Amino acid sequence: MARTLKTWRVPDNIVGKLVTTPSRDIYWLNAGDLISMGVVILPDPPAPQTAPSVPSVPLANLPPMFQKGLADRTAWEQWFQSLLFGEYRDGAEYWAGQRSLSPPGTCYGSGDFNEGCVEAKERLDPTDRLRKSNPDYKLGWNAYGP
């Protein structure tokens, strides 16, 4: 192993640490070791900013089409999660990924895959029409969170 590391141009001091560190121990490369191997060390990225909290709004106070979009998305997610893994679910997942493409693929396939794709298409076509034509519905559809 030490010879292989030499062909990769790992510096002698690091190969020496590898060879002399007992098998029950770990030697962690430090910044100097990394720099000697030509690794560029970047500063840690800044901590992510947390989004300001948004006050919750009772569902009844939201526009009716928002509520419908959220209800339809919830129904879709529950139906999809109820599917067993296999070709039927694969077909449904395929259509869910195709439906917004221009042009979308087809549900051409065999057996269970085709049936799952067609069922997903039948369930999603009405929601897609509303999603594309009604901003409140789209907001409700996209507001879904498990």
pLDDT one-digit tens code per residue, 9-60: 778 888 888 788 888 888 787 878 777 777 777 777 777 777 665 556 677 7
Q: Do 74 and 105 reside in the same domain of the chain?
A: yes
Q: If we measure between CA atoms, which residue out of 39, 36, 40, 41 comes closest to residue 11?
A: 36
Q: Do 72 and 20 reside in the same domain of the chain?
A: no
Q: Is residue 41 part of a domain?
A: no
Quick: pLDDT tens for 54-106. Answer: 556 677 788 999 999 999 999 999 999 999 989 999 999 999 999 988 898 89
The domain total for the chain is 2
Tell me the residue type at 84: L
Q: Do 72 and 13 reside in the same domain of the chain?
A: no
DSSP class of residue 18?
H
Q: Do 30 and 67 reside in the same domain of the chain?
A: no
Q: Do 73 and 136 reside in the same domain of the chain?
A: yes
Q: Is residue 95 part of a domain?
A: yes
Using CA atoms, how far apart are residues 95 and 116, in angstroms rounded to an integer? 8
Q: Is residue 17 part of a domain?
A: yes
Domain extent for 116: 59-142
Using CA atoms, how far apart are residues 129 and 141, in angstroms rounded to an integer? 12
Asked whether the bond before 103 is cis by omega within 30 degrees of 0, the reply is yes
Q: If we measure between CA atoms, which residue out of 76, 78, 57 comes closest to residue 130?
A: 76
Q: Do 11 and 78 reside in the same domain of the chain?
A: no
Q: Do 26 and 71 reside in the same domain of the chain?
A: no
pTM, two decimals, is 0.60
